[in-house]
Amino acid sequence: MIEFLMNGGPVMVPIGLASVIGLMAFFERLVALRRSRVVPRGFCVELEELVRQSRHDDARTLCRKNGSAVARIMEVAVAYHGETRARLKERVEEAGRREAADLERYTGILGTVAAVAPLLGLLGTVWGMILTFEVIQEVGVGVVSSLAGGISQALITTFAGLTVGIPALIAHRSLLARADDLLMEMESYALDLIELLAGPNTPGSDAGSEGP
């Protein structure tokens, strides 16, 4: 197998490097996007119960100890629990944007690998065909064995580029979809918490701003 890949020529080196980088990025994100690390449901239930009991200091302590993405967002909400609903939502959205960027970190690498690997394969194909035509110019088309090397190199690089690019594209899309699902779940928990923290008695809320 190694000899087969080596027959692809020098373009196989960047293709192989791209595959290694893509795998590293994929497995790193696969671990980072585990639900238990991003949106632990047990934590969300416990935090909601503390907020319902108005134990805001305990709620902030729980967020700091948990350390998950949703915990960092929730800590902001709890820290500013005395503000209006609109202001509270603004602060939570700001924290959410930071966490969203963190969830999508390194996914761009997979997207780049998915785009570049087939192009590298195409480059190898062109290089192999150039070699083939050079041989044809020198010895003609009568000796098939003399043409096999260039054609084989062209096909191997195409095969390798697609073999790396297609899984990288699938992995990229699946990780983005997973990150979006987790973000939606975090948003749902955050909105529920905002409703608890910015209740009817909160200054500036709709109930408190109504006229007599």
Dihedral sign computed on CA atoms, order 25, 107, 44, 204: positive
Task: Please indicate whether residue 169 or residue 86 has the higher confidence score (pLDDT).
Answer: 169
Domain that residue 41 falls in: 2-209
Cβ partners under 8 Å of residue 159, min gap 6:
121
| Domains held by the chain: number | 1
pLDDT of residue 82: 77
User: Per-residue pLDDT averaged across 48-63, rounded?
Assistant: 90
Is the CB of residue 22 less than 8 Å from the CB of residue 120? no
Taking each continuous run of H as one helix and of E as one strand, the counts in the chain are 10, 0
User: What distances in angstroms separate CA 75 from CA 45, 62, 126, one per listed residue?
Assistant: 14, 9, 56
pLDDT of residue 135: 67
159: amino acid identity, one letter: F
What are 177-189's pLDDT values in tens digits? 999 999 999 998 9
Across all residues in the chain, what is the average pLDDT? 83
pLDDT above 50 for 94: yes
pTM of the model: 0.77
